[in-house]
Amino acid sequence: MKNRRILVKRSNCLIFFFQDGKFHYKNYLSGREFEASPVLVPILAQLDRWRTIRDIERLLPGYTGASIRSSLRRLIAHTAVVIKGSSASKREEELSAWRIWGVEARFFHYATKNIHAAPLTIDEASFNRALKRRQPPPPSVKTFPTRRQIDLPDPSPHLRGQLPEVLLKRRTHRHFGAGKVSLDQLSILLRLTWGFTNYIQWPGLGRLPVKTSPSGGARHSLEVYLWCSRISGLDRGIYHYRPDRHTLELMKKGKFAHRMDQLCGHQDWVQDCSVLFVMTTILARVMWRYRFSRAYRVILLEAGHFCQTFCLVATWLGLAPFCTAALDDEMIDDDLGLSAGEAVLYAAGVGMPP
Ligand SMILES: Cc1cc2nc3c(=O)[nH]c(=O)nc-3n(C[C@H](O)[C@H](O)[C@H](O)COP(=O)(O)O)c2cc1C
């Protein structure tokens, strides 16, 4: 903190709260959280715009220069204060894309970005047994035993036919056969999941495209990118799907099988699938119409609809689908060159059945 010309400002991404009686602050963009003294608040309050060290000394006459500099060093290390021109300050500027939905949407999105710290390679069975020893799992059924119980007609005679059979057959697959998914199968998957299938008239907006899954306000904010590894008749690489023309746009050629498992929280079986589909949302498409933070839920719900459609189409095609939310969003941002206005949501993939 020797350079007196350095400009600093408090981070725009700070949240303050009490936890177990202690005062904490968290920077939701950097993910850093610290216990702090409430005395920090008036200091940070002064750092509402870019200031030099000399400005800060003038604003805080009760503190010595040395104590201000050492506090600033700590605050910068904690990412509570950012330096003008630093990569952290540039990242924060990009967050203006989230402004309309207030603090709550971006806090939740960024505070939960990237896979949790616990590795997915843990021994699932012993991990779950330990959890069970600590506390039994909640029951999977809720009942109202004192209320009248009404038997429903037996549906089994109606569970034949393509739709019920596909619904009943859908499972999550984590093992795949050695063959390749064909380009025809990929085309059907894309068309029936993410392609434009029709147009509707929307009041005041005119003709809007629709797809096989519903979308809040027909905003259709989702984009889909493909990491193709084993598709017959298609070069390995990363592609973007263009739903209006039903075409693929090649973004990067290359082998990404290992990268795919890294993107999915190091779930090593992912590298054996044929293609990984990553869904993102272009926030502005929804924000433009719905200027309140509850609309953030709408995009998450929409991604769920699309994923289920995808799993059912893949099952109908005789393929082995899966979905995963264990994503390293930042790695995907890097591969696709995404900015803060386009957020990673969900991934699904498919391979040949074993
Ligand atoms: C939002 C969401 C995230 C999921 N993430 C993962 C994941 O990271 N890894 C995985 O192996 N399965 C994942 N699954 C699949 C579930 O584990 C799976 O649905 C569950 O075991 C039930 O099996 P079924 O899909 O065959 O019915 C996810 C499912 C959902 C809905």
Domains (range + CATH), the chain: 8-96 (3.90.930.60), 164-351 (3.40.109.10)
The predicted pLDDT at position 40 comes to: 85
Return phi, psi of residue 164, to 5°. Answer: -60, -35
167 CB less than 6 Å from ligand 1?
Answer: no
Give, as one character, the DSSP assignment of residue 103: H
**Binding site membership of 175 for ligand 1 (Cβ less than 6 Å):** no
Distance CA 322, CA 301 (A): 18
Say if ligand 1 is within 6 A of residue 174 CB. Answer: yes
266: pLDDT strictly greater than 90:
yes
Q: Of 84, 62, 63, 81, whose CA–CA distance to 73 is shortest?
A: 81
Per-residue model confidence as pLDDT tens digits over 25-34 = 999 999 999 9
Local confidence band at 114 (pLDDT 50, 70, 90 cut-offs): confident
Residue 122: predicted pLDDT:
74
Q: Is the CB of 171 under 6 A from ligand 1?
A: yes
pLDDT number for residue 132 = 96
Token pair of 302 as six digits: 């929409």
- The answer to whether the CB of 326 is under 6 A from ligand 1 is yes
Tell which atom from ligand 1 comes closest to the C-alpha of 173: 26
Q: From ligand 1's centre to the CA of 321, what distance in Å? A: 10
- Distance (angstroms) between ligand 1 centre and the Cα of 174 equals 10
- Please work out whether the CB of residue 232 comes within 6 Å of at least one atom of ligand 1: no
pLDDT mean over 172-184: 97
Q: Whose CA is nearest to atom 6 of ligand 1?
A: 324
How many angstroms separate the alpha carbon of residue 323 from the centre of ligand 1?
6
Residue 159 in tokens: 């569970």
Strands (E), the chain: 8-10, 14-19, 22-27, 32-35, 81-83, 181-182, 198-202, 206-210, 222-228, 231-232, 237-242, 247-253, 275-282, 320-324, 342-351
In the three-class reduction of DSSP (H, G, I as helix; E, B as strand; rest coil), residue 348 is classed as strand
pLDDT of residue 38: 84
pLDDT tier, 118 (very low <50, low <70, confident <90, very high otherwise): low
- The CA-atom distances, in angstroms, between 249 and each of 161, 227, 237, 238 are 36, 12, 10, 9
Percent of the chain scored above 70 by pLDDT?
97
Average pLDDT of the segment spanning 235-240: 98
pTM (predicted TM-score):
0.94
Mean pLDDT lowest for which of 119-128, 229-238, 318-327? Answer: 119-128
Q: Which helix (H) or strand (E) holds 312?
A: helix 295-316
Question: Does position 21 have pLDDT exceeding 80, yes or no?
Answer: yes
Distance 148 CA to ligand 1 centre (A): 35
Instruction: State the distance from the centre of ligand 1 to the C-alpha of 172, rounded, in angstroms.
Output: 6
Q: How confident is the model at residue 291 (pLDDT cuts 50, 70, 90)?
A: very high
320 CA distance to ligand 1 middle (Å): 13
Residue 43 pLDDT grade (very low, low, confident, very high; cuts 50, 70, 90): confident
- SS3 track for 44-82: HHHCCCCECHHHHHHHCCCCCHHHHHHHHHHHHHCCCEE
* Site to substitute for ligand 1 among 324, 327, 344, 346, most atoms within 8 A of C-beta: 324
Contact 173, 351 (CB under 8 A): yes
Mutate to test the pocket of ligand 1, among 172, 279, 312 (most ligand atoms within 8 A of CB): 172
Mean pLDDT to the nearest integer, 216-239 = 98
Q: How confident is the model at residue 238 (pLDDT cuts 50, 70, 90)?
A: very high
CA of 173 to the centre of ligand 1 (A): 9
**Least confident window among 63-67, 148-152, 324-328, 336-340:** 63-67
Closest C-alpha to ligand 1, atom 26: 171
CA-nearest residue, atom 8 of ligand 1: 324
Asked if 29 and 91 touch (Cβ cutoff 8 Å), the reply is yes
Q: How far is the CA of 201 from the centre of ligand 1 (A)?
A: 36
Is 325 touching ligand 1 by the criterion CB < 6 Å? yes
Nearest CA owner, ligand 1 atom 9: 324
pLDDT recorded at residue 117: 54
What would the two tokens of residue 190 be?
Answer: 């894309």
Q: Which residues pair with 350 in a beta bridge?
A: 275, 321
- Decide: 32 in ligand 1 pocket, CB within 6 A: no
**Mean pLDDT throughout 137-162?**
97
Q: Quick one: pLDDT at residue 204? A: 95
pLDDT at 120: 60
How many other β-carbons are positioned within 10 Å of the β-carbon of residue 317? 19
pLDDT at residue 3 in the model: 65
Phi, psi of 272 (to 5 degrees): -90, -5
